[in-house]
């Protein structure tokens, strides 16, 4: 998993509440177990019409936001089913941070496990960042995870909270497998001792 330290990028405004996981990645794209290739289907039913043509008015189809790295959205982002494909599709598109007043619990947890930083902020702070995001290509925001600060295009600063353990994992690029591999020496030592004391288990 890639480390998340400081992120600077365009923020896309998505002023909607209850953005569910079926909106993020519709069910027909859940057949794959690969984490790559899902970005083209992110928000598929909002990005494309029935013939597969882009819908110009959707934010991520607008030239200013095609390379957005941040989404600013409304309350209860990521609700619905627990599909991990939702953060996979966001990450594959290039989204590394989502800012909203609240998130669905499972989606929130899945974001951290996939290198995405979900930031919960009071509504007034989200409104300010939403206004910043609506500036198009000038909607560049910098997120400093170490300092837990968001710097807007006008130089304003908003602080945010993040659990220390989750912060540690993102800063060091540690998913569940990475955390386990940190204990590699202890695991190898345990297996060697068990093989010596109970060799029949290796047969």
Contact 180/1 with Cβ under 8 angstroms? no
d(CA 153, CA 84): 32
Q: What is the pLDDT of residues 41-98, one digit of tens each?
A: 999 999 999 999 999 999 999 999 999 999 999 999 999 998 999 999 999 999 999 9
State the Cα–Cα distance between residues 132 and 158, nearest whole angstrom.
Answer: 13
**Res. 182 pLDDT band, cuts 50 70 90:** low
The rounded mean pLDDT for the chain is: 92
Residue 111 in tokens: 């974001």
The pLDDT of residue 132 is: 95
Domains of the chain: 6-172 (3.20.19.10)
- Top pLDDT among 194 and 61 is at 61
Dihedral sign from CA coordinates of 142, 145, 150, 151: negative
Reply yes or no on whether the pLDDT at 193 is more than 90.
Answer: no
Query: Rounded distance, CA 200 to CA 36, Å?
Result: 42
The pLDDT assigned to 181 comes to 65
pLDDT of 203 reads 58
pLDDT, one tens digit per residue, over 143-159 is: 999 999 999 998 899 99
């Amino acid at each position: 998993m890639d480390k998340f330290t400081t992120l600077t990028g365009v923020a896309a405004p998505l002023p909607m509440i209850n953005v569910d996981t079926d909106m993020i990645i519709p069910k027909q794209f859940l057949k794959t177990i690969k984490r790559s290739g899902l970005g083209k289907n992110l928000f598929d039913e909002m990005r494309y019409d029935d013939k597969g043509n882009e819908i110009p008015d959707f934010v991520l189809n607008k030239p200013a936001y095609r390379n957005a790295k941040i989404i600013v959205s409304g309350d209860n982002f990521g609700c619905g089913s627990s599909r991990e494909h939702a953060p996979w599709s966001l990450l594959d598109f290039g989204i590394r941070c989502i800012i909203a007043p609240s998130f669905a619990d499972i989606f929130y947890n899945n974001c951290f496990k996939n290198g995405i930083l979900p930031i919960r902020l009071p509504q007034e702070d989200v409104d300010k960042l939403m206004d910043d995001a609506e500036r198009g290509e000038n909607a560049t925001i910098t997120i400093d995870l170490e300092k837990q600060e968001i710097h807007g295009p006008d130089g304003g600063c908003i602080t945010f909270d993040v659990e220390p353990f989750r912060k540690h994992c993102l800063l060091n690029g540690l998913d569940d497998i990475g955390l386990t591999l940190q204990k590699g020496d202890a695991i190898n030592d345990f297996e060697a001792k068990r093989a010596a004391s109970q060799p029949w288990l290796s047969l």
